[in-house]
Chain A
Amino acid sequence: MKILVTVKEVATVEDEFEIEGTEIAEQYLGADLNEWDDYAIEEAVQLQEDGIADEVVTVTIGPEDCEQTVRQALAKGADRAVRVWDDALEDVDLLDVNAKTEILSAVVEAEDPDLVLSGVQAGDDSFGATGVSVAENLGFQWGAVVNHLEHDFEDGLASVRRELEGGVEELTDIELPAVLTIQTGINEPRYASLRGIRQAQQKPLDVQTLADIGVDESDIETELELTDMYEPESESDATFWEGSPDETASELGDLLRDKGVAQ
């Protein structure tokens, strides 16, 4: 079985920040492997260790700067990586679900995996829609918000649990090829070993342009326009206790005694 994992480098924001136009000012931004994708990578690597997957390939949409994040996925055990970037993508304000679907679908078609694992959502724009959209686009089956995957694939089916609201899980069998969107907590993502980090430097990382994967620039034109970004107005009417830790702890202690919940 061949597995493709979508890997995104997400922007992280410091507690204090400023907004310039429809973006957060660059000096307050960091970059990290998308948390959900970390679990997707781990699941794929475990499938490889269990002898079920023969090859794990990652695919990323992003500029050269994000190669460090891609290497992180390789260091954790993926075999090789594909990174798609293009001058045409540089100026795009908001890469919407349809644009990402076009790009990722082209890579999935070229790679022809049995299983695609993607994170439920990205920590920055949080659309939570791309995995299912890619599946529908390619005629793959799919399951959203998967928090357990059986590693036997009996009868060519992926047996999964989907994490519904309120502590309920749905037990579902999904035909392959399929896209599963992976929820946090499905496994315990490993830290890359030093050996893994060294090996990752030697693993293939193919860079492809839109033309290379056969996607026309007009296919990624978005109908969505990001028009404003602002800090939500604080609705806090909390009483802020101030003072040293022993003073604030004492205030809280008084409250708990007043409410009769602690003595």
Chain B
Amino acid sequence: MTDVLAVADHRRGELRDVSYESITAGRQLADETGGDLHIAVISGTVDDFAAKLNRDGVDTIHTVSHGEEFNHDVYSQAITQLYDELAPQYVLTPNSVNGLDYAPAIANELDLPVVTDTVDLDNDGETLVATREMYGGKVETTTELEGDAVITIRGAEWPAAEGTGDATIEAFDADIDEDAIGSTVNGFEEVGGGDVDISEADLLVSVGRGIEEEENLDLIRDLADALGATLSSSRPIVDNGWLPKNRQVGQSGKVVTPDVYIAIGISGAVQHVAGMKGSDTIVAINTDPNAPIMDIADYAIVDDLFDVVPELIDEFDG
């Protein structure tokens, strides 16, 4: 029997989407051998969360009431105790920033292998086949392992579980050792405010690593001016300090859905795509025809941006 324990992700009173996706992923793994799917929901308004997580395919939901927000020590202690009690084959966690703050720790504590950022999972009851990307998405790999494991799943790779389930909801009385808690969360802050809200724009001209030098940004600014568009960027441009945080599109920046999104010199890393895939029309200008951005582009120009962009400025300025 392949039992699965999946851990829900929530923040500031809201369950995150990946929580519902991990029900789907966990159910698939458990189904191979008719195992049970257990869900753990830890901290915050757990009864409310449990009611929402009670969707098709969930057998039992374990609530651990302790504190309001995520704390990796509380999560680690609660999950290792649930593992001891339930003896699941797989512990499934989101590959979120918080998931990566406890999944490796519980794997080490439980002496289990850890496979992170999986995009597909398959098992026959003995061998797990995990699909992962390497080299920034240039290749996919399969990794096999036998026995118990801790697995993190990438968001938006599995559909969210739907329907209303008939799960048993149980309060799990975890024995949390307060002395072992070595970090304190003091609050949260929204970043990326300021003069412009890129999520409001109809036309975004978005620039990435392909621009090479800070000076070259003027070319893209000129294009945005000529088109009456709003300027945005991928992460490396903001990391370099060339544009402020409020211009960043992606997982850790803004989610945007303009009528047209022009990605210039952006390869299309999964974290970026998460922030712009909802755009109505996506145009990519990139020298690499195999760049991941092409997978979601509606139109593409495979050429040097330094040749194409000046022509485009001329189109509208002339």
Kindly list chain B residues whose C-beta atoms are within 8 Å of the C-beta of A133.
104-105, 107-108, 114
The reply on B173 being an interface residue by CB < 8 A is no
Mark each residue of chain B from 285 to 306: 1 if its CB lies under 8 Å from any CB of chain A, else 0: 0001110001101111111100
Kindly list chain B residues whose C-beta atoms are within 8 Å of the C-beta of A24.
135, 139
The reply on A255 being an interface residue by CB < 8 A is yes
Contact yes or no, A172 B182, CB < 8 A: no
Contact yes or no, A246 B311, CB < 8 A: yes
The 8 Å CB contact of A231, one of B11, B138, B186, is: B138
Stretch touching chain B among A56-64, A65-73, A158-166: A158-166
Tell me the residues in window 162-211 of chain A with beta carbons closer than 8 Å to chain B beta carbons. 162-175, 178, 181, 184-185, 188
Mark each residue of chain A from 227 to 242: 1 if its CB lies under 8 Å from any CB of chain B, else 0: 1111110111011110
Contact yes or no, A124 B135, CB < 8 A: yes
Kindly list chain B residues whose C-beta atoms are within 8 Å of the C-beta of A162.
97, 101
Tell me the residues in window 237-251 of chain B with beta carbons closer than 8 Å to chain A beta carbons. 238-241, 245, 248, 251
Stretch touching chain B among A45-53, A78-86, A92-100: A92-100
| Interface of chain A, main secondary structure | mixed
The residue on A at minimum CB distance from B142 is: A228
Contact yes or no, B129 A144, CB < 8 A: no
Contact yes or no, A232 B315, CB < 8 A: no
The reply on A110 being an interface residue by CB < 8 A is no
Kindly list chain A residues whose C-beta atoms are within 8 Å of the C-beta of B113.
96-98, 222-224
Contact yes or no, B137 A232, CB < 8 A: yes
Tell me the residues in window 76-135 of chain A with beta carbons closer than 8 Å to chain B beta carbons. 94, 96-98, 101, 120, 123-133, 135
Tell me the residues in window 48-81 of chain B with beta carbons closer than 8 Å to chain A beta carbons. 72, 76
The residue on A at minimum CB distance from B253 is: A167
Kindly list chain B residues whose C-beta atoms are within 8 Å of the C-beta of A223.
113, 145-147, 149
The reply on B312 being an interface residue by CB < 8 A is yes
Stretch touching chain A among B21-29, B32-40, B187-195: B187-195
Contact yes or no, B297 A238, CB < 8 A: yes
The residue on A at minimum CB distance from B254 is: A167
Contact yes or no, A144 B144, CB < 8 A: no
Smallest Cβ distance from A37 to chain B, in angstroms? 14
Kindly list chain A residues whose C-beta atoms are within 8 Å of the C-beta of B144.
224-225, 227
Chain A contact patch, size range: 35 or more
Kindly list chain B residues whose C-beta atoms are within 8 Å of the C-beta of A224.
113, 115, 143-145
A52 to B186, alpha carbons, bound, how many Å?
A: 24
**Number of B residues, CB within 8 Å of A:** 99
| Interface of chain B, main secondary structure | mixed
A251 to B299, alpha carbons, bound, how many Å?
A: 10
Smallest Cβ distance from A75 to chain B, in angstroms? 20
Kindly list chain B residues whose C-beta atoms are within 8 Å of the C-beta of A22.
141
Mark each residue of chain B from 126 to 143: 1 if its CB lies under 8 Å from any CB of chain A, else 0: 000100111111111111
Contact yes or no, A169 B189, CB < 8 A: yes
The reply on B284 being an interface residue by CB < 8 A is yes
The reply on B229 being an interface residue by CB < 8 A is yes
Kindly list chain B residues whose C-beta atoms are within 8 Å of the C-beta of A184.
235-236, 239
| Given the contacts A129-B114, A132-B105, A232-B140, A167 and B252 also touching, CB distance less than 8 Å | yes
Kindly list chain B residues whose C-beta atoms are within 8 Å of the C-beta of A163.
97, 252
| Given the contacts A164-B98, A175-B182, A262-B228, A129 and B143 also touching, CB distance less than 8 Å | no
Contact yes or no, A255 B107, CB < 8 A: no
| Given the contacts A253-B312, A261-B260, A123 and B135 also touching, CB distance less than 8 Å | yes
Contact yes or no, B138 A169, CB < 8 A: no
For the A-B complex with A97-B104, A123-B136, A167-B253 known, give 7 more contacts whose Cβ atoms are closer than 8 Å.
A96-B113, A132-B100, A164-B11, A172-B183, A223-B145, A245-B310, A251-B301
